[in-house]
Structure 1
Amino acid sequence: MTATSLRLVAHAHTAALRRARFGAPNDGLDEGGRRAAHAQAHAGAGRGGPLGVNDTVQSSPAAAATQTAELLGLLATVDAVLADCDYGDWTGRSFEEIATEQPQALREWMSDVDRAPPGGESVASVRDRVGRWLDERRAAGQRIIAVTHPLVIRVALVHALDLPLATYRQLDVEPLAIVRLTSQGARWQLRLSPPPAG
């Protein structure tokens, strides 16, 4: 069976990410995020590239993800399955605002993966859609790069490694982090690589 290689790339910084706001699809990269993505692309080119040139590239439809892909020199096809969680009425608002105005709803959302923000999507729902996408890719025998959101990567890891969903809270995914999963068809394996030489 042909091996599948999947690299999950977290989009670069946005103003909403820096300010702990519930993101919106139209949030583009801030200046620091653009510089960091540009620098990562040039560093990769100088050492043969951390992302394969022959990979199939997919991206969340969010501006931050498509801009990150472009700055990394990747020609991505948008896939709505890779979209961030739909935060409903909380979209664009800060964590602090919600904690002040809707403390009970926020506590419930943070403690129960089946709870959704008002008018939004639960973490369990995100895991279901991303998990189906992962399962389909596992059997594909392709090299795939997916540029997406930190939360999507966190739930993807939980699904791939068959962990309890609540453990997604214990995973930190930094902007521009690259997480590699490989599979021979039966299950996913998390592959951690050493930093490039030089």
Structure 2
Amino acid sequence: MTATSLRLVAHAHTTALRRASFGGSDDGLDEGGLRAALALAQARPDRRGHLGVDGACVSSPAAAATQTADALGLLPTIDEALADCDHGDWTGRSIEEIAVEQPQALHEWLSEPESAPHGGESVAALRDRVGRWLDGHRGADRRITAVAHPLVIRVAVVHALNLPLATYRQVEVEPLAIVRLTGRGSRWHLRLSAARAHPPA
């Protein structure tokens, strides 16, 4: 049975992530995020294949995702299906600010994945978009690395494991986290790898 080996890499820190703001596609990596991505690439030069150098690489069109891929030494192809959630009128604004000005709307967005009070894309719509992308690659007998926003990876995991959508809030994906999925037949499997020690100098 053919299988797809998929690595989902969360892009490194941006100012919006650190400030808990609704970021936009033009938000690039901050200084710390860039340093962390470069450090990850340099930490295991003997095993860069674990980041997908030996397979295809795709990236969200967001600046933070493409900059992360570049820092990791990858050569990504842009895939619009991996774009971050469209936060509509809330783009660029902090959660704290929205909580003060539109508390009911923020509560609705946090508690109802199908809602989009900001006029953009709901989490449910994001899950459907990312889910279609995942299903299109399952069983394709390929190695793929995809660099995207942490929220995109959270809903990808929920879809892959066929979990209730509301559980995406319980899936925490840190910047530069790597989530491994293997697609066989009609299912995706989550792969948790053991940590490997650095080779002796």
CA contact (8 A) 1:44 1:50 kept: no
- Residues 1-150 of structure 1 correspond to what in structure 2 (within 5 A)? 1-150=1-150
2:22 is paired with a residue whose SS is coil
Deviation at 1:51, TM superposition (A): 1.4
In structure 1, distance between residues paired with 2:184 and 2:14: 35
In structure 1, distance between residues paired with 2:149 and 2:196: 24
Deviation at 1:48, TM superposition (A): 5.0
* Count of aligned pairs: 198
Q: Which runs of 5+ in 1 are unaligned?
A: none
Which one is further off, 13-22 or 44-53?
44-53
CA contact (8 A) 2:7 2:52 kept: no
How far does the alpha carbon of each residue in 1:13-65 deviate from its partner, in whole angstroms, 9 at most, with x for none?
A: 00110011001100000000000000000012144543132211000000000
Equivalent residue for 1:186? 186
Instruction: Assess, with a 3 A threshold, how the Cα gap between structure 1 residues 48 and 28 changes in structure 2: closer, same or farther.
Output: closer
In structure 1, distance between residues paired with 2:153 and 2:71: 20
How far does the alpha carbon of each residue in 1:163-182 deviate from its partner, in whole angstroms, 9 at most, with x for none?
A: 00000000100000000000
Deviation at 1:139, TM superposition (A): 3.0
CA contact (8 A) 1:4 1:185 kept: no
In structure 2, distance between residues paired with 1:148 and 1:132: 15
Q: Which runs of 5+ in 2 are unaligned?
A: none
Instruction: Assess, with a 3 A threshold, how the Cα gap between structure 1 residues 10 and 48 changes in structure 2: closer, same or farther.
Output: closer
CA RMSD of aligned residues (A): 1.0
Equivalent residue for 1:157? 157
In structure 2, distance between residues paired with 1:113 and 1:37: 31
1:4 is paired with a residue whose SS is strand
Which one is further off, 18-27 or 137-146?
137-146
In structure 1, distance between residues paired with 2:80 and 2:61: 6
Deviation at 1:189, TM superposition (A): 0.4
In structure 1, distance between residues paired with 2:57 and 2:117: 30
How far does the alpha carbon of each residue in 1:56-115 deviate from its partner, in whole angstroms, 9 at most, with x for none?
A: 100000000000000000000000100110000000000000000000000000000000
In structure 1, distance between residues paired with 2:135 and 2:118: 29
CA contact (8 A) 2:108 2:117 kept: no
CA contact (8 A) 2:6 2:144 kept: yes
CA contact (8 A) 1:4 1:141 kept: yes
Instruction: Assess, with a 3 A threshold, how the Cα gap between structure 1 residues 117 and 183 changes in structure 2: closer, same or farther.
Output: same
Instruction: Assess, with a 3 A threshold, how the Cα gap between structure 1 residues 49 and 143 changes in structure 2: closer, same or farther.
Output: closer
In structure 2, distance between residues paired with 1:113 and 1:193: 31
Instruction: Assess, with a 3 A threshold, how the Cα gap between structure 1 residues 48 and 71 changes in structure 2: closer, same or farther.
Output: closer
Q: Which amino acid aligns with 2:154?
A: R
